Amino acid sequence: MRRPLPRLRLPLPVWMLLTVCGLVLAPQALAETPAPARPLRVLFIGNSYTYLNNLPALLEGLAASATPPLRIQTRAVTRPGVRLQQHWDRGDALAALREGHWDYVVLQEQSTLGLLLIEGRHEVNDPELAFHPYARRFVEEARKVGAQPLFLLTWARRDTPESQARLTQAYMSVARDLGAPIIPAGLAWARVRQEDPDVVLYNEDGSHPSPAGSYLTASALYATLTGSSPVGLAPVLSGHPMPEGVLNPSKTVTLVSLEPEQAERLQHVAWATYEELRQSSGYVEVEPPAPELPTLPEGQPLETSALLGTWQGEMRFYSQEAGQSPATLSLILKQSSGHLGGSVRIVFANKQTEGPFSLESLSLEGSRLRFSTPLLSKGRGKVEHEAVLTVAGLVGLARYENPRNHDRYVGTWKLQRPEPAPAPPPP
């Protein structure tokens, strides 16, 4: 039977730069109650942050190496890049959850809470758009079957450490409102990055966990579930691989193999982070600034004759991580039968191309040129463009939002008329 959860309280260290708030519950140490006759059963709902290096198996291995050993059985419903909203819509996670007999359900949202691209850079999306509504649904369903929901607070990407504050606030606020405990993995990652920056927590993409990163996360998870220190647990852990989130039970591999000294350092950080969070009532509150959105400068009055022709320049709108940004945007404006029309063509940084696309809803309003184009040729929605004419050329702002999952792109483009080709030398 699932154990009740204790209260958490303690001043936070300077490195967190966070303000303590709220009273909540967090998992009670298993040592305070008799060991259950059956294994502790934990369901994971998440994506590649959970299945890479098989985080559930790492938890099982750590628990089995404790003295006395703790039996934990896990199951994971995971897919690449999937969000809680998509898990809800697909139904697999709900079906697994409703089978019941779970002690805990670990909820892990997509790494940036959905897709928000600002000038081609990934930022943390507004949690109220999709994360919080579906987190609340899953928490309600977990409690219907007698399971305790927990939130796995994830980590900032390697190149945007400042985004940890937004992730922390997003997870803490909904968890506090729902009285669900936090697994403080992201806070432990931030601490290791500050105190021991030589530890490689990320794999090559700067987002997903290395084996050491998954080990740190598993240690924070063990501490949260058991209320016991992970210090001294096994540094080498084996289990089944989970390629693309699908468990392969026919194969057993070494998932993590750390030097004992490195494993112990990560264990100490995980335990210290958990203890500080527990003694501060289980939640912290931050007030991170909202991402700064680009804007347009003042423009000159527009006349059709000043716009006609070919414009070309840089567009920062699509993903830098995917090798798309900065792209080259070519805009052709022409007049036919008294009507302004045109097309755009995009050459991404990776040399792939899109278009040409015909301009839709093209209009001139005072100093603003407006039109729309497809997001991509696969028909995923419309990009709304707004542009002004300046002494430096055409300066545009592009916006896109998916009304279903609230993916958002905001970026700018700056175009000039191409220089005329030099005349060929005389024969």
The single-letter DSSP state of residue 329 is E
Is residue 425 reached through a cis peptide bond, with omega within 30 degrees of 0 on the bond before it?
no
In percent, the amount of the chain with pLDDT more than 90 equals: 85
b/e sequence 327-350, b meaning 16+ C-beta within 10 Å: bbbbbbbeeeeeebebebebbbbe
- Confidence bin at 420 (pLDDT 50/70/90): low
pLDDT higher than 70, residue 383: yes
Which tens digit of pLDDT belongs to each residue from 348-372?
Answer: 999 999 999 999 999 999 999 999 9
Q: How far apart are CA 5 and CA 222, in angstroms?
A: 14
Instruction: Say what the pLDDT of residue 29 is.
Output: 44
Q: For residue 289, how many other CB atoms are within 10 A of its CB?
A: 8
Instruction: Say what the pLDDT of residue 1 is.
Output: 46
φ, ψ for residue 393, nearest 5 deg: 125, -160
Quick one: average pLDDT of 228-252?
96
According to DSSP, the β-strands at 309-316 and 408-416 are: antiparallel
Measure the CA dihedral 109/114/117/118, to 10°: -80
- In this structure, are residues 43 and 105 in contact, taking their beta carbons and an 8 Å threshold? yes
CATH code that applies to domain 304-416: 2.40.128.120
First to last CA, the chain: 93
Q: How far apart are CA 176 and CA 171, in angstroms?
A: 8
CA nearest neighbour of 397 among 386, 408, 381, 382: 386
CA nearest neighbour of 107 among 158, 143, 70, 156: 143
Q: How far apart are CA 165 and CA 162, in angstroms?
A: 6
CA nearest neighbour of 413 among 294, 322, 274, 285: 294
Q: How far apart are CA 371 and CA 399, in angstroms?
A: 11
pLDDT higher than 80, residue 418: yes
- Confidence bin at 419 (pLDDT 50/70/90): confident
- Confidence bin at 6 (pLDDT 50/70/90): very low
Q: Is there a common fold for 14-285 and 304-416?
A: no
- Say what the pTM is: 0.87
Q: For residue 250, how many other CB atoms are within 10 A of its CB?
A: 7
Q: How far apart are CA 86 and CA 92, in angstroms?
A: 10
Q: How far apart are CA 246 and CA 10, in angstroms?
A: 40
Go through the chain and tell me how many residues it has: 427
Which tens digit of pLDDT belongs to each residue from 213-224?
Answer: 999 999 999 999
Per-domain residue ranges of the chain: 14-285, 304-416
Fill in the amino acid letter for 345. R
Q: For residue 34, how many other CB atoms are within 10 A of its CB?
A: 8
> Yes or no: is domain 14-285 CATH 3.40.50.1110?
yes
Quick one: average pLDDT of 292-302?
94
Distances from the Cα of 166 to the Cαs of 99, 155, 160, 382, in angstroms?
34, 10, 11, 28
Instruction: Say what the pLDDT of residue 32 is.
Output: 54
Which stretches of 22-91 are DSSP H helices? Answer: 48-51, 55-64, 84-90
Q: How far apart are CA 362 and CA 373, in angstroms?
A: 10
Return left, alpha or beta for 140; rule: phi > 0 is left, psi -120 to 50 is alpha, else beta.
alpha
- Mean pLDDT value across the chain: 90
According to DSSP, the β-strands at 182-183 and 360-365 are: unpaired
Which tens digit of pLDDT belongs to each residue from 322-349?
Answer: 999 999 999 999 998 888 999 999 999 9
- Confidence bin at 18 (pLDDT 50/70/90): very low
CA atoms within 13 A on the CB side of 417: 11
pLDDT higher than 70, residue 14: no
φ, ψ for residue 344, nearest 5 deg: -130, 150
pLDDT higher than 60, residue 23: no
Higher-confidence position of 31 and 133: 133
Which tens digit of pLDDT belongs to each residue from 56-104?
Answer: 999 999 999 999 999 999 999 999 999 999 999 999 999 999 998 999 9
Q: For residue 352, how many other CB atoms are within 10 A of its CB?
A: 12
Instruction: Say what the pLDDT of residue 20 is.
Output: 33
